[in-house]
Chain A
Amino acid sequence: MARVVLVGNLAQLTGGVAEFDLPATSVKHLFQQLSELHPPLGPHLEEGVAVAIDGQIYQDALLEPIGPNGEVFILPQIAGGATARTMGGSTAG
């Protein structure tokens, strides 16, 4: 079980619940589980948060593993690493 804490305004999207125990084994897995529990949280997780796993901060690291007793904080993104794949793209012919 990973112990997960939402920092800052994110708890407002879960009706005030800021702490969770979830059986997530990766960041991607964790985001999926959180979105299922609290759908309003979903887009914000996609949009850019930073994740601290056992004290180490990760940004844009969907595939990062979370250990069985991991302590995870979800923070507002300090930026760095870009969701560049969503940035460009042709909208004109």
Chain B
Amino acid sequence: MSAMIAEHDLSGYVGTRTIRPDGVDKVTGRARFGADFNLPGQLIGRVLRSPHPHARIISIDTSQAEALPGVKAVVTRDDFGDQPSEFIPAGEMMMNYRDVVRNVMAREKALYEGHPVAAVAATSAAIARRALKLIEVQYEVLPHVIDVVEAMRPEAPLLHEDLYTAGVEPKPDKASNIAKRVEITLGDIDAGFKKADVIVEREFKTQPVHQGYIEPHAALASVSEDGSAELWCTTQGHFIVRAHCARLLGMDIARLRVTASEIGGGFGGKTVVYLEPLALALSRKAKRPVKMVMTREEVFKSSGPTSGAVVQVKLGATKDGRFTAAFAELKYQAGAFQGSPVQPGVMCAYAPYDIENVKVIGYDVVSNRPKVAAYRAPGAPISEFAVESVVDELAKKLNIDPIDLRMQNAAHEGTKAAYGPKFGPIGMEETLNAIKKTEHWNAPLRKWQGRGVASGFWFNIGGETCASLTVNEDGTVSLMAGTPDIGGLRASLAMVAADELGIPYDKVRPIIGDTGSLGFTFLTGGSRSAFSGSMAVVEAAKQIKTELCARAAKLWDTKPDQVEFEAGHVRHKDDAAAKFKPMSIADFAKMAGKTGGPIGGYGRINAQGAGPSLGTHLVDLEVDPETGRVTILRYTAAQDAGRAIHPSYVEGQYQGGAAQGIGWALNEEYVYGADGKLQNAGFLDYRMPVASDLPMIDTIVVEVPNPRHPYGVRGVGETPIVPPLAAVANAMESATGIRFTELPMSPPKVLKALKERGLNKV
């Protein structure tokens, strides 16, 4: 336990279940999401998208569309300047502006079905749709490739003539669909495998899955005659949207003011731009506001899912269960442009374990599918699914309890991670123990029922974050944060501010500021918003406390070191005669003008010290041998939160991530025809879990404080999606005796596997 944590009064709001301050508007329909904004005189924008998965764009003739009455602007590749190659961080992945401009609007080629080719703005949606039909595009259709292994073959259709595999020596002289090869190595795996008594080697396959946010992308742009602009959009990072749009449209950053609407889900998929640059470009041409909203079909066809992958794992252990060598090879699909999350996938694969000899190789491969975007712990669910499945298989071969096997090899404080540095305190062992102690772990099972356990790791990030606290004349406090609130952040930040300043929770009103109101704040992602946001709030509060002490010292004619801030008041330290009545924040607020001006603090930080979050999940399921349907019977998720600011929202992250992981394991996948076109671009056939698919999801919030955060907080949002894939696969093995290595384990696949073994009878 760190002294830093003991400094903070633990009897305040932090750790309690307050009502979120933005809640009433959300339960009454008042809260405004991306498509809920309108401006007088606005035009409706719509996008023409490539019907071909791979084609050269020979020409685009928009003259007839432009002539249609009601059409006020049309944009194509000609309206966007080309961008030189430059990598920038975007959430937990890197992207390249040369690719960004091409993904927003196709240039030389259409690289996936759904790739934007042109956009129009018209006085009604009906006219805009008619205008799209009048745009004539000459395509030279090219052969396409959508499978990752196929795309890696030297004779595969080439997406980018100038893409040469990075990370291989000597530098290749032939272009390829393999954008990058990455590798991490620790020790000597050949020697390690020689020491092993048992080795398990398996290949796994996963399909692309979409983040599945219920709210489609939406943006409303209004560009003025002098080139300045306002943009409302649903996004996880409005400062990032501003940066991308300013770059693509050639604007000064200060001239573009972006307001983040309430956001109806993101999970990483709203960390990039799609409609925003188009809406701005159209508005700039039309000199009127332009509103654009994606249909659900467009969301599936044109916004990034996560990678599908092929993963090979080889793990060796001694007969008493000590891992001696760990190998994995990951081939991840990036979609049309490079940038799959293979790097974090490589780094996380064996991160929960303390293994001397590790080698993990990864390939980033392009293919004719929509460009991949981040999805909750990007890359990690895939690689850890494979590893955790193999760990389970090893446990059975060694006849060791699967929790005990993980415990024996668990990473802990001081363990050297395969990707280099030593871990600080982490909760791997604690979450394993928490699961082992549950009644769930020992509950009886019947025929066709199975139980599976798996662990998961995610790094979490910090980053540039701004938050301001302003004391109003009546002593209430306005809190402004720069990270969009996607799941209850405002409640947590208000609780921290209330505790730091010693004032009631309902006297703090939090809002998310627009880009004109705060310094650059990195997007909400990487499980960073509560972690970094609370640090910025603590910094802002510190500034206020220092300021109030300085003012009190002057008022009391004493030195600043004779006064202190405690429990919401400034007191004189040495006041035996009780001459100086302690002053509250409200007292100072009343006389703020007379004592120097408005009181406030502005935290501007680059938060470091994000601690990894480890989790272990346990699932019981039942297989119907006649239909292949799998029913989740029981689920327990244990995860380390460091310190839970608002336990309900921490639990909510565990439950939501588990549900997404269950969907990924059992039903969700992109179904493509041989023609490279998506067949299930809707919620009916892209089958996400519904309420009747799931039981209650029990949660155990473990707290191994992060010594680098003032309250011990760790990010929690992403780790929960990592364990479920293997937990479910392990439970399937327990129920059927079959090791499924391909996701999703949907009813047709399960039934086929059962039939092959003559098991499809009750």
Touch between A and B in complex, CB under 8 Å? yes
Interface residues of A (CB under 8 A from B): 5, 7-9, 12, 47-48, 52, 54-61, 64, 73, 75-84, 86-92
Known contacts A60-B463, A91-B250; 20 further A-B pairs (Cβ under 8 A): A7-B420, A8-B182, A9-B181, A9-B182, A12-B167, A48-B89, A52-B421, A59-B461, A61-B608, A77-B89, A78-B461, A79-B526, A80-B89, A80-B526, A82-B463, A84-B464, A87-B243, A89-B253, A90-B252, A92-B81
Is B18 on the interface with A (CB-CB < 8 A)?
no
| 8 Å CB interface, B226-256 against A | 239-240, 242-244, 246-247, 250-253
One of B166, B181, B522 near A80 (C-beta < 8 A): B522
| One of A8, A54, A78, A86 near B86 (C-beta < 8 A) | A86
- A59-B463, A61-B608, A87-B244 given; A79·B90 CB < 8 A: yes
Query: By the criterion CB–CB under 8 Å, are A80 and B461 in contact?
Result: yes
Q: CA of A79 to CA of B610 in the docked complex: distance in angstroms?
A: 12
A90 to B250, Cβ gap below 8 A?
yes
Contact: B609 with A56, CB < 8 Å? yes
| CB pair B528 A84 closer than 8 Å | no
A82 touches B167 (CB 8 A): no
Binary per-residue interface labels of chain B (581-607) against chain A in the complex, 1 for a CB within 8 Å, 0 otherwise: 000000000000000000000000010
Given A7-B184, A8-B184, A81-B89, A73–B244 Cβ distance below 8 Å?
Answer: no
**How far, in whole Å, are A86 and B243 apart by their CA atoms in the complex?**
9
A-B contact pairs, 18 of them (CB 8 A): A8-B343, A48-B89, A48-B94, A54-B422, A55-B422, A59-B462, A73-B420, A76-B343, A77-B94, A79-B92, A79-B461, A80-B89, A80-B92, A84-B239, A88-B247, A89-B247, A90-B250, A90-B252
B residues within 8 A CB of A80? 89, 92, 461-463, 522, 526, 528, 610
Q: A59-B608, A79-B92 are in contact. Are A88 and B243 (CB under 8 A)?
A: yes
List of B residues within 8 angstroms of A12 by Cβ = 167, 169
The CA-CA distance from A79 to B89 in the complex, in Å, is 5
**Cβ-based interface call for B213 (8 A):** no
B264 interface hit (Cβ, 8 Å) = no
Which chain A residue lies CB-closest to B418? A7
CB contacts (< 8 Å) of A57 on chain B: these are 421, 459, 608-610
Q: Which residues of B contact A (CB under 8 A)?
A: 81, 86-94, 166-167, 169, 181-184, 239-240, 242-244, 246-247, 250-253, 343-344, 347, 419-424, 459, 461-464, 520, 522, 526, 528, 606, 608-610, 708
Interface centre among B89, B251, B610 (most CB of A within 10 A): B89
Question: Which of the listed residues B184, B461, B708 has the most CB atoms from chain A within 10 Å of its own CB?
Answer: B461
B347 neighbours in A (Cβ, 8 Å)? 75-76, 78
For B182, list chain A residues within 8 Å (CB): 8-9, 76
How many residue pairs link A and B with beta carbons under 8 A? The number is 130
What is the CA–CA distance of A43 and B87 in the complex, to the nearest angstrom? Answer: 11
Q: How far is it, in angstroms, between the C-alpha of A82 and the C-alpha of B247 when the chains are bound?
A: 15
In the assembled complex, the Cα of A80 lies from the Cα of B71 at a distance in Å of: 41
> Nearest Cβ in chain A — how far from B99, in angstroms?
14
Q: Collect the chain B residues with CB atoms within 8 Å of residue A59's CB.
A: 461-463, 608
B412: min CB distance to chain A, Å: 13
Is A55's CB under 8 angstroms from B526's CB?
A: no
A60 contact set on B, CB distance < 8 A: 463-464, 606
Compute how far the CA of A88 lies from the CA of B277 in the bound complex, rounded to whole angstroms: 13
List the A residue with the shortest CB-CB distance to B184: A8
Cα distance A54–B166 in the bound complex, in angstroms: 30
Taking a contact as CB atoms under 8 Å apart, the answer to whether A81 and B462 are in contact is: yes
A92 and B250 within 8 A (CB): yes
Q: Give, as a whole number of angstroms, the nearest-CB distance from B56 to chain A.
A: 27
Contact between B610 and A87 (Cβ–Cβ < 8 Å)?
Answer: no
Partner of A56, one of B86, B522, B608: B608
Query: A79 CB to closest chain B CB, in angstroms?
Result: 4
Q: How far is the CA of A9 from the CA of B180 in the complex (A)?
A: 10
- Closest Cβ–Cβ distance, residue A66 to chain B (whole Å): 13
Question: Which A residues touch B526, using CB under 8 A?
Answer: 78-80
